[in-house]
Structure 1
Amino acid sequence: MRNLVALIFLCASTFVCAQVDEEVEITTETGTLKGALMVPEGEGTFPVVMIIAGSGPTDRNGNNAAMTNNSLQLLAEGLYDNDIASLRFDKRGVAASVSAMTGEEDLRFETYIEDAESWGEYLKGDPRFDELVVMGHSEGSLIGMIAAKRMEADKFISIAGVGRPAADILREQLSVQPPGVTAMTDPIIESLERGETVDSVNPMLNVLFRPSVQPYLISWFKYDPAQAIAALNVPVLILQGTTDIQVKIKDAEMLASANPDAEKVIFDGMNHVLKEAPIDRMENMKTYNDPSLPLMVGLVEAIIDFIGEN
């Protein structure tokens, strides 16, 4: 009885009972990746959007151990309500895909790109879908644009995607630290950009530059989002919010400049987790852990309009 009550409460609070997730999986050399398809009811075929989560241990719904906002789940529900299918998936090492994680020293940025490609091939093989749209959020934007090119997706959507190489962003983030810190980090970043690992790292910098993570950083630093989006010859939509405290408006502008045919929509008051929020950091961060908040007004509509265009 207690479980039944809990289930009823879950349905009432998240409004997903009528939108049942279809659990799906793909097999990789290191383990199984798992995700969820949300397919509208009815006859005929549907466009399908592959939703790629951002950096860190972010799951299929846009959440991690430190925050629950359900941003990606809400996107999937909004698409479902407008007869558009979607796939969202747990990255390797996260949630239901935790067993597929490789050793940290073996992980590369290309691993995530290859995983996205594999999911794309899975979707292309499903006869229910007639159009593949790749949509990446934050770091998932860069992963998505590279994978979209390789898998010949029909359209690409970037949400809060950076427009600069990761090394440049890391330098910018570290620039607010005392000069002594940047004096240590700048040479390390420069070495990694050259494809060279660094043997001696101050222990206080291990969280960023420990030896086991350096090969991943080298593989990540070599990609330039502006170059990647310029290489796409399919319709592109770039979405960005003005109160995003992690990715700047200038990133969206750089992406749009690199692909002049792309559509760009800026949402006044939308933050990084796609909710309406003030620019004040403390108040902004509160939305990161409030799944009851809806997505920014107009966000889903912009995506639907773009997908519906010929």
Structure 2
Amino acid sequence: MKSFFIVTLLVFTTFNSFATPIEKIVNIETGTGKLEGTLLTDDSKVSKTVALIIAGSGPSNRDGNNPTMTNNSLKMLADELSKLGISSLRYDKRGIGKSKSSELKESELRFENYINDAISWIEYLNNLSNFNKIVVIGHSEGSLIGMVASQQKNVDKFISIAGAGQPIDQTIREQLKSQPPIVIEQSTPILDKLLQGERVQNIPAFLNSLFRPSVQPYLISWFKYNPQKEIAKLNKPVLIVQGSTDIQVSLMDADKLEAANIKADKVVIQKMNHIFKEATLDRQSNFQTYNQPELPIKPELVEVIGEFVHN
């Protein structure tokens, strides 16, 4: 197992210190509507590396925000990477923000839609003449999406930030253990059937929000993917980044991903939570950072990514 050390990136900072970031709104057609993203480059024409940043679960937009929280985590990441000579493209997920036109009915949405969207963005970047290296950065649920999409030959490196290390059905089972016994008793047979690709009728009312019939096809499609198996398929440089105070994804998840791909590098950033901000393990104060857009992201995250990309 290789060790990965944080170093001061003075050379990279100097490299891009006088460049002026340029934002360009870009679009791709999905067949069911357009996806919109922001391509952040600089006017130096020197940078040849571009990172595709894939947002996490829920109604997340290109900046890492959703209707209930604003933290600008992904926007900050893109801005900081530009200072290291790394261009980036981040995009609103299907059905979110300026990608609203590509929205599918819940009953028609599949996990593969998100994977294919990422692959389409990779193809878009690959067709641009000003880049010769593509790095995929997947955050949270975007980690699994990025793992599968990065199996494309035109992806040079993959970075997982706060990515789950086990199939999502196992995560759901673990989360439900903290609920009253009847919840896990009623949920287990439902999860078992969905895992087998079977839909379930007559969902108990108290479980409808989680297992409603219209969302079951998406869950079935999502359950098919095991992050450990997908990351093992990547025969290219892989970086696994995990924050020590992430209360949504655990250090054990990062360990599982590392064990699945023995060539991968893993870095644990102390006092970094799920959205890259400095935080403690106190749940209330940790979650408060999710609505503090003025709070900067941890600089160690940018340093680690910069070193991995440039080396």
TM-score, structure 2 normalization: 0.92
CA contact (8 A) 1:121 1:151 kept: no
Structure 2 gap ranges (5+): 1-19
TM-fit CA distance, 1:233 = 0.3
Residue 37 of structure 2: aligned partner = 35
> Which letter does structure 2 place at the counterpart of 1:259?
N
Q: Counterparts of 1:61 and 1:19 in 2: how far apart (Å)?
A: 16
Match of 1:135 among 134, 137, 144: 137
Q: Which SS does the other structure have where 1:88 is aligned?
A: strand
Match of 1:149 in 2: 151
Which one of 83, 86, 90 corresponds to residue 84 of structure 1?
Answer: 86
Is the 2:228–2:256 contact (alpha carbons within 8 Å) kept by the matching residues of 1?
A: yes
Q: Determine what percentage of the aligned residue pairs are the same residue.
A: 52
Instruction: Name the structure 2 match of 1:11.
Output: none
Summarize deviations over 1:90-126 as a string: whole Å, max 9, x none: 0011000011111111100000000000000000000
Deviations 1:170-218 (A, max 9, x none): 0011110000111111110000000000011012211110001000000
Equivalent of residue 267 in structure 1, options 266, 269, 272: 269
Match of 2:162 in 1: 160
Q: Distance in 2 between matches of 1:191 and 1:126?
A: 44
Map of 2:300 onto structure 1 = 298
In structure 2, give the amino acid aligned to 1:38: L
Residue of structure 1 in register with 2:8 after alignment: none
Letter in 1 for 2:148: I
Q: Pairwise mapping of residues 16-95 of structure 1 onto structure 2 (< 5 A)?
A: 19-95=21-97
Structure 1 residue runs without a partner (length 5+): 1-17
Structure 2 CA distance, aligned partners of 1:21 and 1:42?
14
Partners of 2:288 and 2:169 in 1: how far apart? 28
Q: How do 1:91-102 residues align onto structure 2 when only pairs under 5 Å count?
A: 91-102=93-104
- Summarize the alignment of residues 194-213 of structure 1 with structure 2, pairs less than 5 Å apart: 194-213=196-215
Distance 2:287 2:271 in 1: 13
Supply the distance in 2 between the matched residues of 1:90 and 1:191 (Cα, whole angstroms).
32
8 A Cα contact 1:45 1:127, kept in partner: no
- Output one character per residue of 1:250-292: Cα deviation in whole Å (capped at 9) or x when no partner: 0000000001111100011110000000000000001000011
Q: From the superposition, tell whether residues 244 and 152 of structure 1 become closer, same or farther in structure 2 (CA, over 3 Å).
A: same
Alignment of 1:210-249 (within 5 A): 210-249=212-251
Determine the C-alpha separation between the residues in 2 that align with 1:244 and 1:258.
21
Provide the C-alpha distance between the structure 1 equivalents of 2:62 and 2:282, rounded to a whole number of angstroms: 28
Quote the Cα distance in structure 2 between the aligned partners of 1:39 and 1:19. Answer: 6
The total of aligned residue pairs comes to 292
SS of aligned partner of 1:22: strand
Q: Is 1:192 the counterpart of 2:194 in the alignment?
A: yes
AA aligned opposite 1:297: P
Indicate the structure whose relative CO is greater, using CA pairs within 8 Å and at least 6 residues apart: 2
Letter in 2 for 1:267: I
State the 1:44 CA deviation.
3.8
- Matched residue SS, 1:34: strand
Cα displacement (A) at 1:296: 1.1
> What amino acid does structure 1 have at the position aligned with 2:57?
S
Q: Deviations over 1:207-235 (max 9, x none)?
A: 11000100000000010000100000000
RMSD, matched Cα: 0.9
* Alpha-carbon distance between aligned partners in 1 of 2:81 and 2:269, rounded to the nearest angstrom: 19
The 2-side partners of 1:288 and 1:85 are apart by 25
What's the counterpart of residue 13 of structure 1? none
Give the AA of the match of 1:140. G
